[in-house]
Amino acid sequence: MRPLNISTLPATFTLAKGISLGGATQYLQKIGILGDSMDGRIFAWVGRILGMSTQIKAGNYQLQISPSILELLNLVSKGQAIQSQISIIEGWTFNQLRDSFNVNPDIRHDTLGLSDEDILQQLGLSGKHAEGLFFPDTYYFTSGTSDLVLLQQAQQTMQKHLKANWATRSLNLPLSTPYQALILASIVEKETGQADDRDMIAGVFINRLKIGMKLQTDPTVIYGMGKTFNGNLRRRDLLQDTPYNTYTRYGLPPSPIALPGLASLQAVMHPAKTKALYFVSRGDGSSEFSSTLRNHNNAVNRHQKCCKK
């Protein structure tokens, strides 16, 4: 019951997935948590007597004070580890999400080398497009958790929010399925520079869909260009037809173009009631909205002149 003699506190250590009581004993002796061979023998002996041989939990652990051997056994057998965390950001593409997961040292990388379609199959999902299916949020996990487990959690969270908001959506939306709402929410996410404009931007796109007008939104064109986009969207790019070019094609693109957050989902399900069909950036993150092409062109000229100054 005496406290262990740990020279440096706080002390941190990591137990690997599948580690045995014997393996944990050797590791804790090596890093100085169990200070001598007697501590190690007692740790292993008490662990076996209490039936903890197969109960050692993987994870990152931190000791603020020196525990007794029994307290240390209880800590690692109950899995009272420090939780790691990772944030998925609104507006990220699925490739950006994967890159973030792949460089996180606390995540077990089971998806390395898999295609997006392979990952969907591993998650039990049909289809070829992984884009937009994972909810942006901060997720907490123990070290060694598979990236597939985190992806499944993010996907289920997105489905929960999508289903709840679809059930309470405004009447007469020109959207047939929750997936169509997800696609439009991803466009709203990429087009919104200022949060206060989000509902109006959703309202503009809803109005365009209702009257059969092309969405004509740059982010979809950029997404369709893939790696060929160099940061400069040119006029000829707007004329180059792809499944994601909403200047050349009517309706929604075939998939989301990013990960929409909750605010964008809600904006699409409850868009602003407006007659606006156009919007242009003022250059400060906010947008000016117009209901006629003439007024829109005037706004474009005004803000372009302002920006050139």
Among 246, 129, 126, smallest CA distance to 184 is for 246
pLDDT by position in tens, the chain (length 309): 888 988 888 888 988 888 999 999 999 999 999 987 899 999 999 999 999 988 998 888 989 899 999 999 999 998 887 888 899 999 999 999 999 999 999 899 999 999 999 999 999 998 889 999 999 999 988 878 899 999 999 999 999 999 999 999 999 999 999 999 999 999 999 999 999 999 999 999 999 999 999 999 999 999 999 999 998 999 999 999 999 999 999 999 999 999 999 999 999 999 999 999 999 988 888 899 999 999 999 988 887 765 543
Q: Would you call 202 exposed, middle or buried from its count of C-beta atoms within 10 A (0-12, 13-18, 19+)? A: buried
Question: Tens of pLDDT along 144-189?
Answer: 889 999 999 999 999 999 999 999 999 999 999 999 999 999 999 9
Q: Residue 58: its pLDDT value, please? A: 85
pLDDT of residue 282: 86
Give yes or no for a contact between 40 and 124, defined as CB atoms under 8 angstroms apart.
no
User: What is the fold, at CATH topology level, of the domain defined by 11-77?
Assistant: Dna Ligase; domain 1 (3.30.1490)
User: What does the H/E/C string look like for 22-91?
Assistant: HHHHHHHHHCCCCCCHHHHHHHHHHHHHCCCCCCCCCEEEEECCCCEHHHHHHHHHCCCCECEEEECCCC
Query: What residue type is 91 in one-letter code?
Result: G
Is the torsion defined by CA of 253, 258, 263, 266 positive or negative?
A: positive
**Of 174, 175, 197, nearest to 267 (Cα)?**
197
* pLDDT, position 305: 60
Query: 305 with 297: CB under 8 angstroms?
Result: no
Distance from C-alpha of 76 to C-alpha of 191, rounded to nearest angstrom: 48
**pLDDT, position 308:** 44
E strands present in the chain: 11-15, 59-63, 84-87, 107-108, 138-141, 145-146, 278-281, 287-290
Q: Is 13 helix (H, G, I), strand (E, B) or coil?
A: strand
- Count CB atoms within 10 A of the CB of residue 105: 7
Residue 158 CA neighbour count, 13 Å, CB half: 28
CA distance linking residue 183 with residue 185, whole number of Å: 5
CA distance 212 to 221: 19
Assess contact for 119 and 133: CB atoms under 8 A: no
* C-alpha span between 198 and 188 (Å, rounded): 7
The pTM of this model reads 0.80
Domain with CATH 3.30.1490 in the chain: 11-77
Task: Please choose, from the candidates 224, 256, 226, the residue with its C-alpha nearest in 3D space to the C-alpha of residue 130.
Answer: 256
